[in-house]
Structure 1
Amino acid sequence: MKKSKNNGARRLKKRELQQKIMEFLLKQNKQSFNYKQIAFAIEATNPQSRLDIINLLDELVAAEEIQEVGLGKYKAFSNRGTENVGVFVRRSNGKNAVVIDDEQIMVAERNSMHALNGDKVRVMVSAARAGRDPEAQVIEILEAKDQVFIGTLKVDKTYSALVTDSKFLAADIIIPRNKLKGGKSGDKAIARITCWKDDEMNPRGEVVDILGRKGENTAEMHAILAEFGLPYKYPENVEKAADKIDAGITPEEVAKREDFRNVTTFTIDPRDAKDFDDALSIRQLANGNWEVGVHIADVTHYVRPGSVIDKEAQKRATSVYLVDRTIPMLPERLSNGICSLRPDEEKLTFSAIFELDSKANVVNSRIGRTAIRSDRRLTYEEAQEIIERVAAGEKVEETDADGRRNFPREICVLNELARQLRRRRYDAGALEFDRAEVRFEIDETGKPVSVYFKESKDANKLIEEFMLLANLTVAESIGKVAKGKKAKSFVYRIHENPNPEKIGNLALIASRFGYKVATEGRAKEINKSVNRLLKDVKGKGEENMLSILAIRSMAKAVYTTDNVGHYGLAMDYYTHFTSPIRRYPDMMVHRLLAKYADGGRSVDKLKLEDECRHSSDMEQLAANAERASIRYKQVEFMQDRLGEIYDGVISGVTEWGFYVELTDSMCEGLVPVRDLADDYYDYDEKSYCLKGRRHGNVYTLGDMVKVQVARADLDRKQLDFALISDSGNPNRPLEQRKPGKRNEPSKPKGRGKGKRRK
């Protein structure tokens, strides 16, 4: 019998065998194999070849070309030694990387092809070598992300450039003089990169827009918006389209609606609000029950699908609330005028009407288009004063000194109904987050002059409770269908169950302060234990830290067509219906309600899901911009307080230091680890703490400390503090809390001179 000439019948050369092993393992980089499986896969069945495979596998492991993941089980390093596609991550500190399948691989600048942050790139990833991490080399930029950079112009006789504020780009952008768009040295500007040659250190670009002088309030606020890709001005054609809208309300239109113009109706909003998109009406029925109407501005009556106003609103998806201004989703003629439910003006609304008994049980409800006339615009403070005075037994007059009606009976009835709704919601397992928000008093130049805290009181909660009820009822009206029937496509606001690991971390940290948080069991029981924690920490040093940790342990709420319920609210159905002036998903909900009420067919779910995803993304960007504006004002506020000493609490711990939130202003700053000169500190990620190797000092979340304001960097929006003393965590042993030699005030240290600490 003639011998076969296939690979199994002959002994393969070592180089050929190694190549086949590597090719096979790289193609199967998610799985591991023993030597027999590898031999079979590469058709090396010759007994001597099998022996060679065993030896080669050991050599490849020793050379860190492959890894042994179990006894006799081998696999390739993920994404190594092959071409892959990933997303480029550029950092101003030079630590560039490419993200492939959630794995981050370093890219040296010389191997980056000057890819920008977010670019889709093709890379060649090297195999790991002994003592070295793998590296990637960009070989092609597949999709360049459209992006701009914000910074300050530097213009002189021989040189013009944008010195960027970006954490994604270290190099200045060279700007030819004919591309400055009239910008001068010291102007805050937006620029785009037009060219970056391989042999040049700096990219070249052009100015897109001039924002104003560096340091001027409006220029800096617009720079924050531009940083997150958010609009800072309204297109002229959209404004003109809004100006052409007829605000008149005809008798024919009112006749199509339920008329509430003669029912007691009022708005309760923040004192500086201009867009009033919700109002409450109340009247007692013949059977003694109360009819409460939640009336929402009928924005979609005026904004037609596909119009220039609608397209702009859809793109923005949300109004943006910075420290000192609102960037509206809709043109001001609509948001502050036609659609705003101002007092003594007839308005068109979309309403959820409830009949409630004395126990706040919903006896009946209906949803439909209405017409209203608000009797009074109340601020939260005015409504709260009425509630408190009545509770104290004082008589509140029906009209005030200006002749405006106060509605003391109606407000107190609504407040009592809201209390019962809220109590029932918490009994069902809803979470009770009630953290004060920091606010700034701003002078005419935009400079913060003082800090105050915005707290949610009964008047705020009254409005919140009826908005929640309306949103729940609207979601149920579409999503809750008879068994065997399929619900029509709809927009839901969902909040998924928290990550068990994060709840476990919260429970661990809380236990160090003597609190217990349930980590297993039904969602209702876990939420009740979290609520109990939030109640027990009220007014204590660890309150802020533990409430932040509790919030961080939760998933983010998003918009989607796939309803899974709202964990935080303990509701099986929930949507956003009550703020169409400032949220595009609410406009989507209004349109879907109207369409389905008229017998319309279910809309395209995939298209609706894309719109939901965009709205969720824009909501997150808006939240990031709001936080950035708060950080900017905090740093600006503390600039005049350099060298002053404050009490604070450790609010975050990282490998580069710990963050301290000041007790009296909630301003947050970093104590850099390099400035802790008494020891070498290691970061314990699981315990959220820094531990000193020599003296055993521990800095952990919730520790009370005394700090000195050392640096205030407006460009980076960062405060640096110098540690003065550590009061510590009373639940930690005293020997771990005592600071080394840090009881004497220290002078702020300069940047870059301290010893780098891990």
Structure 2
Amino acid sequence: MNFKEKILAFMKEEIYKPLTFKELLQALGIEGKMKKALLVALNELEDEGKIIFTRSERYGLPEKMNLVRGVLEGHQKGFAFLIPEDKSLQDFFISPADMNGAMHGDRVIVRPMKVSEDVKSPQGKVIRIIERANPYVIGTFQKSRHFGFVVPDDKRIAFDIFVPKEEFNGAKENTKVTVKITEWPDQRKNPEGTIVEVIGDIEDTKTHIDAVLLAKKVRQVFPEDVIREAKRVSQEGIREAEIKGRKDLRNINIITIDGSDAKDLDDAVYAEKLNDNEYLLGVHIADVTHYVKEDGKLDKEAFRRGTSIYLTDRVIPMLPKELSNGVCSLNPGEDKLTLSVEMVINKDGRVVDYKIFESIVNNRYRMTYDQVTEILENTNEELTDKYKDIVPMLKTMEELSMILRKKRELRGAIDFEFPERKVISDETGKAIDVRKYERKISNKIIEEFMLVCNETVAEHYYWLNMPFVYRVHEDPDEEKMYEFSKFIHNFGYSLKGNVVHPKELQQLLNKIKDKREESIINNMMLRSLKKAIYSPDASTHFGLAAEYYCHFTSPIRRYPDLQIHRIIKGHIKGKYSEDGLQKLYERTALAAEQSSKMERLADEVERDTEKIRIAEFMSDKIGQEYEGVVSGVTNFGVFVELENTVEGLVHISNMVDDYYIYDDEKKELFGQGSHKTYKIGDRVKVRVDNVSIPKAEIDFALI
């Protein structure tokens, strides 16, 4: 326990009451040179928001003074909600008058206020800003003769930032810029800042993509020392001594199945039927940790990034291309180091035996999803002949994957049949098409093989009681399930109670298959479930109905997988002592927290940039007419999804044929005069009315 932890422990004692500096010296028995150390520690704790220095010059804990620490979630109208660090507390509503210069994302201390009992959310007032979240803000620059403003892209920042003329720094009207805040807001004035970067013209789509990446602080360029390390390790080659310590699988017909444009091939597979009752499945994963050493420059950079980010026209990799596309990628015809899981699986889909070991493989065939689907579903003669050596294995893989899928269905795993979307880009990155992308048999084969492999590895290390990084998915909130149950009641479906088993949700998905409400119920169900996260502590995975689960199969693009590989190799080599295991647990906790955080960020970046590209694709289609399905109904209009998955809004102000009222219970708009209704699943005809690339918004009009 360090000095600051001792101070906090002392203040957490039940008998502690706020003390002055002098009283603290006496209470802690501190003399001489340690006086300065105490003052430094108290100042640091105050800066961190862990203690409060009162007007009466006393030190105490916020929670003992009826104060609440947390982060502000802003709103464009100026108010905010405090999300408390103490998860047992409700969110606090903060009115614009009680923000005291705080902004969205700031870490603050709030004093709760007395409010009437009928108010849903408790209210509070910001009394201290611990840490500013937005020293730099990205937005659109608008100028007049003597001053300018930056209108933030993030609408949760309720202030425009004032920019004096001498701080324009070459920025022109309607350019996307980064502004550094030099003066924070108060009750009487907006924040003030200086332009530090001109990102580009707002008419250029690339500007908006760049703005998203900058706003999310995405690491787009690898530092030079990281690149040097990547080049060095990628040129080392495989030593004979390394091969001798591994199982040599280079004479086996191991293959990869990936998308046609994939360059980071981190998983290869092999299957054979052993007898009438059993199959052998081999899953061979790139041994990235052989090249990415713990706490090396590559490892630290991969930890910071957490995951690769897949934009519509390019990948921002977790590891430099020398590794991700080169020495680690299981490219065809090349000897590669791998970590393998070989499983014997019976005809019921149960893993009856398995081995986890280091290996060396040589990818015999680099197959694509389309090729495998053509062979298995369409019996393409040309491809069947070209790959005749592995066609029997592909058929065995299909057979085994269906057995594994059936086993998962029987235990109640939820399988969302979402049509995926693929944005097609030209060589400049411009979106030239948006297509619906169905999961075919080849995708399902790999999906099933990776799922059973991940479960096998997770269960193995659970029973070894080793520190590990699990993928957990908590049971849904009862309240959200109650709301979801009310929602599906409108379509004639029901759930038994608010505590549901995943099997019940899977049965519902089977009932709605191919019905017009399938898409919206799928979406609403997904929103009602919690988000899966990484954790150092084992727990069930609700969506998969799995007792144990982890991510082991993608170490090129996900840090948790990399950490798991390191644990497995350490265990194989017997290198962990008692002390080592404790340190390993701390490391897995850090890896889990960072990876969960970076996964959320990657999801946001991918979603936001895809929306911009879709708007770009639709921008030259104004006036064109389409058929679509009502995918959402709100009090401000209806959302319509086209056949290619593009979604736009028909705003209620443009529904001029009647006066429409929103029925929240039925989730529909009702015309008072015509009695016409718009509800989810209705087929409608729309015209593209307007497209905003900067806002990533598409407006439709009903016809």
Q: TM-score, normalised by structure 2?
A: 0.81
| Structure 2 residue corresponding to 1:266, chosen from 230, 255, 268 | 255
| Structure 2 residue corresponding to 1:222, chosen from 210, 227, 240 | 210
Alignment correspondent of 1:497: 475
Cα distance change of structure 1 residues 410 and 221 upon mapping to structure 2, 3 Å threshold? same
Cα distance change of structure 1 residues 179 and 258 upon mapping to structure 2, 3 Å threshold? farther
Contact 1:488 1:603 in 2 (8 A): no
Contact 1:438 1:454 in 2 (8 A): yes
Alignment correspondent of 1:638: 618
Aligned-partner residue type, residue 151 of structure 1: G
Structure 1 or 2, whichever has the larger Rg, is: 1
Alignment correspondent of 2:667: 688
- Report how far residue 181 of structure 1 moved: 7.0
Contact 2:335 2:360 in 1 (8 A): yes
Cα distance change of structure 1 residues 543 and 177 upon mapping to structure 2, 3 Å threshold? same
Alignment correspondent of 2:553: 578
Alignment correspondent of 1:537: 513
Counterpart Cα distance in 1 of 2:366 and 2:484: 42
- Report how far residue 382 of structure 1 moved: 0.8
Contact 1:670 1:719 in 2 (8 A): yes
Q: Which deviates more, 409-418 or 652-661?
A: 652-661
Alignment correspondent of 2:417: 434
Deviation string 1:89-141 (CA, Å, 9 cap, x unpaired) is: 43333344555643342422x55333221113345666558999997554432
Counterpart Cα distance in 2 of 1:512 and 1:198: 48
Contact 1:155 1:161 in 2 (8 A): yes
| Structure 1 residue corresponding to 2:100, chosen from 95, 108, 113 | 113
Alignment correspondent of 2:689: 710
- 1:479-518 alignment runs, 5 A limit: 479-480=462-463, 487-515=465-493, 517-518=495-496
Counterpart Cα distance in 2 of 1:292 and 1:424: 16
Structure 2: state its 5+ residue gaps: 1-62
- 1:738-749 alignment runs, 5 A limit: none
Alignment correspondent of 2:567: 592
| Structure 1 residue corresponding to 2:438, chosen from 451, 455, 464 | 455
Deviation string 1:31-66 (CA, Å, 9 cap, x unpaired) is: xxxxxxxxxxxxxxxxxxxxxxxxxxxxxxxxxxxx
* Equivalent residues, number: 629
Cα distance change of structure 1 residues 340 and 292 upon mapping to structure 2, 3 Å threshold? same
Cα distance change of structure 1 residues 452 and 247 upon mapping to structure 2, 3 Å threshold? farther
Counterpart Cα distance in 1 of 2:615 and 2:571: 50
| Structure 2 residue corresponding to 1:623, chosen from 592, 596, 603 | 603
- Report how far residue 425 of structure 1 moved: 1.5
Counterpart Cα distance in 2 of 1:674 and 1:200: 35
Secondary structure at the aligned position of 2:452 is classed as helix
Counterpart Cα distance in 2 of 1:280 and 1:158: 66
| Structure 2 residue corresponding to 1:413, chosen from 396, 416, 421 | 396
| Structure 2 residue corresponding to 1:476, chosen from 450, 459, 479 | 459
2:316 matched to 1:327? yes
- Report how far residue 669 of structure 1 moved: 1.9
Aligned-partner residue type, residue 523 of structure 1: H
Aligned-partner residue type, residue 381 of structure 1: D
Aligned-partner residue type, residue 594 of structure 1: K
Counterpart Cα distance in 2 of 1:372 and 1:448: 38
Structure scoring higher RCO (CA < 8 A, sep ≥ 6) equals 2
2:225 matched to 1:237? yes
Aligned-partner residue type, residue 705 of structure 1: V
Deviation string 1:321-369 (CA, Å, 9 cap, x unpaired) is: 1222211111111111111100011111111012345665534210011
Counterpart Cα distance in 2 of 1:700 and 1:354: 49
2:685 matched to 1:669? no
Q: TM-score, normalised by structure 1?
A: 0.75
Counterpart Cα distance in 1 of 2:331 and 2:107: 49
| Structure 2 residue corresponding to 1:445, chosen from 422, 428, 452 | 428
| Structure 1 residue corresponding to 2:284, chosen from 290, 295, 301 | 295
Alignment correspondent of 2:3: none
Alignment correspondent of 1:3: none
- 1:521-560 alignment runs, 5 A limit: 523=501, 525-533=503-511, 536-538=512-514, 540-560=515-535
Deviation string 1:402-424 (CA, Å, 9 cap, x unpaired) is: xxx76211111111111111112
Q: Which deviates more, 653-662 or 313-322?
A: 653-662
Alignment correspondent of 2:15: none
Q: What is the percentage of aligned positions where both structures have the same residue?
A: 36
Contact 1:91 1:170 in 2 (8 A): yes
Counterpart Cα distance in 1 of 2:422 and 2:302: 27
Structure 1: state its 5+ residue gaps: 1-78, 482-486, 725-758
Cα distance change of structure 1 residues 406 and 682 upon mapping to structure 2, 3 Å threshold? farther
Q: Which deviates more, 587-596 or 516-525?
A: 516-525
- Report how far residue 238 of structure 1 moved: 1.8
Aligned-partner residue type, residue 592 of structure 1: I
Alignment correspondent of 1:719: 698
Contact 2:91 2:122 in 1 (8 A): no
Secondary structure at the aligned position of 2:620 is classed as helix
Cα distance change of structure 1 residues 417 and 125 upon mapping to structure 2, 3 Å threshold? closer
| Structure 2 residue corresponding to 1:87, chosen from 59, 68, 71 | 71
Secondary structure at the aligned position of 2:427 is classed as coil
Q: Which deviates more, 369-378 or 148-157?
A: 148-157
Counterpart Cα distance in 1 of 2:357 and 2:168: 54
- Report how far residue 496 of structure 1 moved: 2.0
- Report how far residue 255 of structure 1 moved: 0.6
Deviation string 1:518-537 (CA, Å, 9 cap, x unpaired) is: 5578726414413422xx43
